[in-house]
Amino acid sequence: MTARQAEVVRNTKETQITASINLDGTGQGQLNTGMPFLDHMLDQIVRHGLIDINITCQGDTDIDDHHSAEDCGITLGQAFAKAIGDKKGIRRVGHAYVPLDEALSRVVIDIAGRPHLDFNVEFTRASVGGFDVDLFYEFFQGFVNHANIGIHVDNIRGRNTHHQIESIFKAFARALRMAAELDPRMAGQMPSTKGSL
């Protein structure tokens, strides 16, 4: 099997990021975005998606976390797009419902070659651990735009914002793992009637 791994270095005046991804990983990661709560959420992708991620970010968090959160999404999206390759043989579509106590979230993914984000989440508070929860939308939008995939994110219920977010990231991890998996019945074939994604 060809290694489905990639590394991306992205440097701007606002952030300097190095990110690597292994889609066929074993749940290993080194996460240092400068935003501890985002690191905690990325660890959900690593553990529940079995997608190895190493990421470091030096950003202008003294101003705000916005640039770093968005740019981490962009850089991981670029790495994902490189790692997934020509998409032959993948399942393409994945979905997951994940509860965390009172919170329940659903994520549905299509590795379609078209970026789209539908984000239906009403957070119950504005920040968790000092992190502005609005920035999760920016993270996912950056990821989607550069991974060229479609994602529907729905927090169906939840009272605790930490639980809402964590259930979303666990569902995202499991849905992404399912969609990116190689399907032995689809070996070498493009999962599209168009013949390309």
- CB-CB neighbours of 33 under 10 Å: 25
**Confidence (pLDDT) at 195:** 84
d(Cα 109, Cα 161) in Å, to the nearest integer? 23
- Would the pLDDT of 185 be above 60? yes
Residue 187 or residue 33, greater confidence: 33
Indicate the pTM of the whole model: 0.97
- Would the pLDDT of 10 be above 70? yes
Cα separation values, 111 from 15, 19, 90, Å = 27, 20, 9
Mean pLDDT of the region 48-74: 97
Mean pLDDT of the region 26-40: 97
- Would the pLDDT of 84 be above 80? yes
Q: What percent of the chain has pLDDT over 70?
A: 99
**Confidence (pLDDT) at 197:** 85
CA proximity to 33, closest of 52, 10, 16, 50: 16
The pLDDT-based confidence of 196 (bands split at 50, 70, 90) is: confident
- Would the pLDDT of 1 be above 60? no
CA proximity to 81, closest of 175, 146, 13, 168: 146
Q: 125-182, pLDDT tens digit by residue?
A: 999 999 999 999 999 999 999 999 999 999 999 999 999 999 999 999 999 999 999 9
